[in-house]
Amino acid sequence: MCRLRDIRMARGLSQNKLANKCDVSIDTIRKLEYGVNNINNASVRTVIMLSGTFGLTVEEFMNEVII
């Protein structure tokens, strides 16, 4: 299970704002949040962009997002 939605909401970001900050499509964010796509299968670029947006290393991000 992915906690991306929880982390995003805790930081006060909408899906659209997160997508814009990460330079990924809102569809990508939605699919990751709803479990359509597994975060473990996300592109390296997407994971790097998401972790950077949250101010985390990739390792910290993955540890926080994966339950």
* Rounded Cα distance, 48 and 9, in Å: 19
Q: What is the pLDDT of residue 13?
A: 97
* Rounded Cα distance, 57 and 42, in Å: 16
* Rounded Cα distance, 3 and 33, in Å: 7
Q: What is the pLDDT of residue 66?
A: 87
Domain borders along the chain are: 4-65
pLDDT cut 90: percent of the chain above it = 93
**Structure tokens belonging to residue 21:** 């900050």
> What does CATH list as the number for 4-65?
1.10.260.40
* Rounded Cα distance, 37 and 20, in Å: 19
Residue 62 · residue 2 · CB < 8 Å: no
